[in-house]
A and B are shown apart, each in its own frame.
Chain A
């Protein structure tokens, strides 16, 4: 799709979901569509290394997917969070609640 206003790209390869762009109230449904139902059968890898912005709407989608994973003995692994994503997770008190995997 060629859309100059596209602000979020979500691609899925098995149980790996790669997200790039801004996650807000307008774009979060695109992410939600890839996480409900949860893909695969094991841990879900959510690569947010190229997410430049996320607000509480995006957090809601992530928390919902986290809860769905936990309820089926799986984990939503939030991988490579950028500085801005990490900061929002920290401020929201979610850093110790979600499964966060840094790049290093």
Chain B
């Protein structure tokens, strides 16, 4: 079940809101979240490469959140304009920090998710939104 709304995003700075989507925390909804990101970012001028990177980020972060957080729902917010895009993913309360992850060995079966997020985004941080931790990622154009 998806419940799109246009409530303002919390935090010390409030980027222009383009779209927020809340879904049941079910891996079957990963595709819907990627579609939401692609549609919203595309509407604000993001090129194919940037849309692809944003989709990767939301897929990785949403997967982590669904697998390690007990919340029944997950919220992804996409904000931006033609110069930068911000992805905000809820349910990050299990994370205690975001040290830059190292590139896993080729033979490693796990540990690539956060590395990929860090590799394709220009900024990755934990933010407090109404007392809950979110991961917020920013991608700049050019």
Contacts and interface: CB of A to CB of B under 8 A. Distances in A.
Interface in B54-78: 55-56, 59-60, 63, 66-67
Nearest to A59: B112
B113 interface: yes
A24 B112 contact: no
Interface size class for chain A? 20 to 34
Which of A56, A63, A87 has most chain B Cβ within 10 Å? A56
Nearest to B49: A87
Interface residues of B, number: 26
A63 B107 contact: yes
Interface of B is mostly: helix
Contact of A92 (B30, B55, B112): B112
B31 interface: yes
B63 A97 contact: no
Given A56-B110, A64-B109, A98-B106, 13 more contacts: A5-B28, A22-B31, A24-B27, A24-B31, A24-B59, A25-B67, A26-B30, A26-B31, A53-B56, A63-B108, A92-B116, A94-B106, A97-B107
